[in-house]
Structure 1
Amino acid sequence: MDDAARHLALLTKTTEVVNSSLDLQEVMEAIAHETAAALETDACFVYLYDERADELVLRATHGTRVEDATKAPRMRRGEGITGVAAAQGEPVMIPSKAHLDPRFKAFPNLREDDYESILAVPILARDKLEGALNVRTREPRMFSEAEIELVVAIASQVARTIEHAKLYAQAQRRVHELEALARISEAVSESLYLEESLEAIVKTTVESMQATGAAIVLEDGRVAWPEGRAGAHALRLPLRWRARTIGELVVDRDTPFSDDDRQLLEAIASQAAVALEHGRMALRGVLAQEIHHRVKNNLQTVASLLRLQARSEQVDARKALADSVNRILAIAAVHEVLTEHREDDVDLDELVDRLRAMLVQGLAVGKEVHAELEPVSLAGQRATALALVFTELFGNALEHGGGRISITLTERDGDVVLAIADDGDGMQLSADGTGLSIVRALVRDELAGELRLVDDPGLRAEVTFPASV
């Protein structure tokens, strides 16, 4: 077979190869093999141009191998003989002693000095650099014009393959991005709980980006919903809602992030911001509804207490007003604790201590108040009842007790025990008085407990009720 026929066969084979697969790596390896075989050269190297790094990266070889597979040889345009061909946009041919040429670039893991000749050509797609390839021989060789034209034609075929592979990769990536965003959108729309939505966003981010880890950082700096581990590269994207930054999406990976990666993560961050703000709005709505419900119940409690006081035949207006103020302040103290901790339960030891401090003002002149309060938690509505009970009993001890008053709060065997004792003259609460009626009703109906009054020698009032009902 003459050279023309062999060259035509190679071009035909090259066309078949580039049209046989959209896998760029597979095509480049086949091209390296077919080109070296048809031109009867000892080696063929195919480089792909990395536009972001402005480097040519060796992607396929025939006749030799890269000894350290973790370090692919790279060169800039104009660097090395192949880099010069890429920079000039035209072939470069050296028939002998190529490794002695001043433009030659050696790689420690690529044995190129074994070759005498080299023919390097750029891979151009409509004048845009896509890569470069070269063929080499161990013996000196002057490549003919026909051989140079053949290698240029092969490079043109490879250029179209690279274009098609890039378009296919972009399409695949777009599908991948849309699938990731669809999963995130589904998680945001289906879950009724903010924690579930954000957890799904973080996990989908890790899977979609092949990341080592990710997390959402709230505006107060608190790290929420962390997943995985830190990587060599980290990307932080703000979560913005109506021109306001409400947090950050932090993603870690061992490999650098591309512009496409950033675009996808910006879309994910936008979804996360929507989920975060909508979840907060829903929470605020539920919280507002709960507050309205509690305020309504507490206003009804205040109204009932005032009606009960009004039924008494002997009413000291000044004392009745002072008692009502203390009851309202007791309810307000419960609200304050609930608001500060943003929880449904109240720490009774903290609540009782606040009420103690509030009530002793102006009433504890010359009195010694000692409190031993164990940590006890109680639901908000029951805490309101206990606050009113404590206000009545402690107020009575301050007004009628002696110089020493002790307060104890403990939990034993599933029951909460609140005891207030003084060293005064004994029972001062009238059995049918308004204050005692309020205490008995609240202990019985709201706390499902019992009240014990011991008159020996001062008064010890003890309230016992189950910690949970």
Structure 2
Amino acid sequence: VTASYEPGAYGEADQEVLLHVASQAAVAIENARLYQESQRRVRELDALQRVSLELVSSLDLSAVLKLVVQTALELTDASDAHVFLYDESTGRLSFGAALWATGESDLRPETTPRPDGITMTCVRSGEPVVIPDCRSHPLFADPARRAGGLESIASLPLRRANHVLGALNIAFVQPHVFGEDELRLLGLLADQAAIAIDNARLFQAARNRAERLAAVGEIAKAITATFDLKEIVAAVSRSLMPLLPHSHMCLWQRNALDGGWSAVSATEEGIAALRGVLESFGCSDTAEVAIVRAATDSANQGSAGQSLASAGLAALVVVPVMGDGKCLGLWTVGAGDSGAFSPDDVDLLRQVSGHLAIAIQNARLYSEMEDALERLRESQTHLVHSERMRALAELSAGVAHDFNNVLTSILGRVQLMLTHVQDPATRESLQVIERAARNGAQTVRRIMGFARHREGEDFAPLDVNRLVEDAILLTEPRWRDPVSDRPPIDVKFRRGKPMSVVGSAAELSEVLTNLIFNAVDAMPEGGRLVLETRREGDQAVIKVQDTGVGIPPEIMGRLFTPFLTTKGSGNAGMGLCVAREIVARHGGTIRVESEVGKGSTFAVLLPLAHHVRPHESKEELSMTQSTQNQRSLSILVVEDEESIRRLLASILGLEGHEVRTFRTASEGIASFAERRADLVITDLGLPDQSGWEVARQVKATSPKTPVILITGWGVSAEVTEARRRGVDYILPKPFEFEELSDLITKALADLG
């Protein structure tokens, strides 16, 4: 354009010149434009070539994605570029990389792409989606979807062969018209990116397989190294964490009692919430792997989804653990990411579940083997104990027989004398002898307890607190000895609520006395002795706790073994053995806890008495209360011990009976055949024949004649068995005046 202030300044010649100049200028401008276009094309081609080389040379997926968004911004004036990856197997999009023109990068979007958004539309169709004006497009009609002032956007598919691997999004905050060349160039970039992404994925998959194989190998080693399921699951969790990030891992098995799921082992708390998830899954022989997603699957917003969310998880894989064609349990692995757990991840978990099945079976076999071994140990211990008890029973039976005969004579003679003596001092002395004889009889009976258990014989309701008080008073001279130089022992009694047990006062007193004496012996330097009573369920508990030297571990297992002692040769080592037998006879047990240097605690547990009617003990009966027989009887006595024969003759004669005594069975049987008696009393052990034979012969001659069998052998028999053998009543030695008199009265009453 030229201008002049003079009219007619430009003639035809001037116009021709100007036309020539204009044409030359046009040529120059076109050449310049072509040059710029060629330069831009060269830059674009250089960029594509450089990107292509870099993409092909890299197998790191993260680096590839960052390079793609960087190149996209270099080729355009866009405000930002995003890459999203698509999983055809799940139909889900995941974030890949992002870059803004401001230089910010790797800012993940707050939400995954919408199912009806531009990115999902692009990958599903496999074609570019270009929107020059977002304000007028239906996909962005909602202003909230144009965050950051979005004006124009294009989404290009990342295709390899017939598969869409993802999408490249280019966005502008200013209105932008996408030209054909620009879209073609971005398409070339997308194609190069797809090749690089596919190669990186293949490489990553190969590396993952190698890592997973190595992890499975490590898991197999861990499983064979232990039989503890908790340790096994912890080892599996550690091995899988680098390959499969998770926040929860647990092994579940069916509870045999209620059929519910029990967590055998876990890596986190909150297990209770997951039981609601598992209730919707069975554990059958055809169980399949299941995936529960709490955040994105509307179908899972029921009870399972809610339970999953309450456990703080967004995704959970439930894997059946199969072994020998059976479902042994369930294995759950959870994560906070709803998109977690790809098909490859599930395959890995399925492989590992096979190893877990082996671990469960091994653990079960090991547990069964341990149980069998423990039962074998118990059986062996019981057998050894039984043999010891049998040997002790044989020894004690012979000793008890002789002692019973001696005690029978002493007790009987003392009670006879008490019926005649009136002098108080003499009576007191005789009563001391009587009590000593009775105590001796109790001792013999306890020894005989090793040979047989007399369940409930002579038992009566007993006040537990009173038993402890009596034991403390009885042992006071031992633990409170003012003459001894031993440091003092502080004794305390923590009395529990009133409660009763059924048993023998003498025997239980012996147990407590023995435990107290042992505690005192364990505190040579003084200390504290605490006795305590309390109730545990249906049992009364008596505790004896000391602060003594404690019991060495090597002694604990043999603590109740007969003849075991740590007190030197002056002690027989029978105290605890006898105590356990007494407590067992009462239906109870003894527990022991001890720590060397700190002391020991013995706890005696006895069944509580329930609705038992109290009755008088023998000690409360008086000789003068003996029931007198209504008439004089003819009584035949067969006893090989002369002192006992004479004693029986004196006792029975004192009550007005006619008594015939014989030493041997044959003499007694012959006398009865010659002249019958109203009642026969025979000893069990006789020089020629047993008392059973005497009873048989008497019943053969006179079936209605009562027969009383007296014995110092501690023989016990059922009523039916005894009567089958001709014996109506059994009276163990040593017996008391009243016992014999009452038994004769009962025999006559039964006879009518």
TM over 0.5: yes
Structure 2 distance, partners of 1:122, 1:298, is 80
- Give SS of 1:182's match: helix
**Equivalent in 108, 128, 136 of residue 100 of structure 1:** 136
Is 1:71 the equivalent of 2:71? Answer: no
Which residue of the partner structure matches residue 449 of structure 1?
none
Is 1:253 the equivalent of 2:335? Answer: yes
Moved more, 106-115 or 29-38: 106-115
- Give SS of 1:237's match: strand
Q: What is the TM-score when the length of structure 2 is the normalising length? A: 0.42
Structure 1 distance, partners of 2:166, 2:141, is 17
Residues 5-404 of structure 1: matches in 2 within 5 Å? 5-41=42-78, 43-51=80-88, 52-55=90-93, 57=95, 59-63=97-101, 69-72=108-111, 74-76=113-115, 79-80=117-118, 83-94=120-131, 96-104=132-140, 108=144, 111=147, 113-116=149-152, 118-136=153-171, 138-144=174-180, 146-191=181-226, 196-205=231-240, 209-220=244-255, 221-230=261-270, 231-233=312-314, 234-256=316-338, 257-258=340-341, 259-306=343-390, 309=393, 359-360=455-456, 363-364=457-458, 369=502, 372-374=540-542, 382=559, 389-390=578-579, 393=582
Moved more, 28-37 or 83-92: 83-92
Pair 31,69 (structure 1): closer, same or farther in 2 beyond 3 Å: closer
Q: Shift of residue 423 of structure 1?
A: 6.3
Q: Please give the per-residue CA displacement for 1:85-141, whole angstroms capped at 9, x wherever unaligned.
A: 4343333445x434323344768486465435x544321111211122244553543
Which residue of the partner structure matches residue 6 of structure 2?
none
- Count of residues paired in the alignment: 380
Percent identical pairs in the alignment equals 19
- Give SS of 1:209's match: coil
- Give SS of 1:240's match: strand
Pair 157,434 (structure 1): closer, same or farther in 2 beyond 3 Å: farther
Structure 2 distance, partners of 1:419, 1:62, is 79
Structure 2 distance, partners of 1:328, 1:173, is 73
Pair 392,152 (structure 1): closer, same or farther in 2 beyond 3 Å: closer
Structure 2 distance, partners of 1:410, 1:41, is 82
- Give SS of 1:75's match: coil
Q: Does structure 2 conserve the Cα–Cα contact (< 8 Å) formed by 1:217 and 1:247?
A: yes
Structure 2 distance, partners of 1:328, 1:284, is 35
Which residue of the partner structure matches residue 572 of structure 2?
none
Structure 1 distance, partners of 2:143, 2:160, is 28
Structure 2 distance, partners of 1:74, 1:393, is 80
Q: Shift of residue 419 of structure 1?
A: 12
Structure 1 distance, partners of 2:577, 2:228, is 35
Q: Does structure 1 conserve the Cα–Cα contact (< 8 Å) formed by 2:215 and 2:239?
A: yes
| Structure with higher strand content | 1
Q: What letter is aligned with 1:90?
A: E
Structure 1 distance, partners of 2:234, 2:451, is 42
Gaps of 5+ in 2: 1-35, 256-260, 271-311, 402-445, 463-501, 509-539, 546-554, 563-574, 607-615, 620-711, 715-752
Pair 382,244 (structure 1): closer, same or farther in 2 beyond 3 Å: farther
Q: Please give the per-residue CA displacement for 1:29-85, whole angstroms capped at 9, x wherever unaligned.
A: 322222332345555443332432444757324437799745155133x633x5544
Q: Shift of residue 232 of structure 1?
A: 1.8
Q: Please give the per-residue CA displacement for 1:216-240, whole angstroms capped at 9, x wherever unaligned.
A: 3343244344323453234443333
Pair 104,313 (structure 1): closer, same or farther in 2 beyond 3 Å: closer
Structure 2 distance, partners of 1:407, 1:251, is 46
- Give SS of 1:48's match: strand
Which residue of the partner structure matches residue 342 of structure 1?
none
Q: Shift of residue 301 of structure 1?
A: 3.6
Q: Shift of residue 178 of structure 1?
A: 2.6
Q: Shift of residue 166 of structure 1?
A: 1.8
Q: What is the TM-score when the length of structure 1 is the normalising length? A: 0.64
- Give SS of 1:359's match: coil
Structure 2 distance, partners of 1:170, 1:194, is 31
Structure 2 distance, partners of 1:408, 1:6, is 95
Structure 1 distance, partners of 2:149, 2:358, is 59
Structure 2 distance, partners of 1:265, 1:131, is 27
Whichever of the two has the greater Rg, that structure is: 2
Structure 2 distance, partners of 1:35, 1:393, is 93
Q: Please give the per-residue CA displacement for 1:185-223, whole angstroms capped at 9, x wherever unaligned.
A: 222222365554344335445565332233333432443
- Give SS of 2:179's match: coil
- Give SS of 1:232's match: coil
Pair 107,212 (structure 1): closer, same or farther in 2 beyond 3 Å: farther
Pair 387,298 (structure 1): closer, same or farther in 2 beyond 3 Å: farther
Structure 2 distance, partners of 1:216, 1:45, is 40
Pair 392,69 (structure 1): closer, same or farther in 2 beyond 3 Å: closer
Q: Shift of residue 12 of structure 1?
A: 0.4
Pair 139,418 (structure 1): closer, same or farther in 2 beyond 3 Å: closer
Q: What letter is aligned with 1:239?
A: V
Q: Please give the per-residue CA displacement for 1:383-440, whole angstroms capped at 9, x wherever unaligned.
A: 68799735754799x9xxxxxxx999898942648799x9657xxxxxxx989xxxxx
Q: What letter is aligned with 2:113?
A: R
Q: Shift of residue 162 of structure 1?
A: 1.7
Pair 388,194 (structure 1): closer, same or farther in 2 beyond 3 Å: farther
Q: Does structure 2 conserve the Cα–Cα contact (< 8 Å) formed by 1:10 and 1:35?
A: no
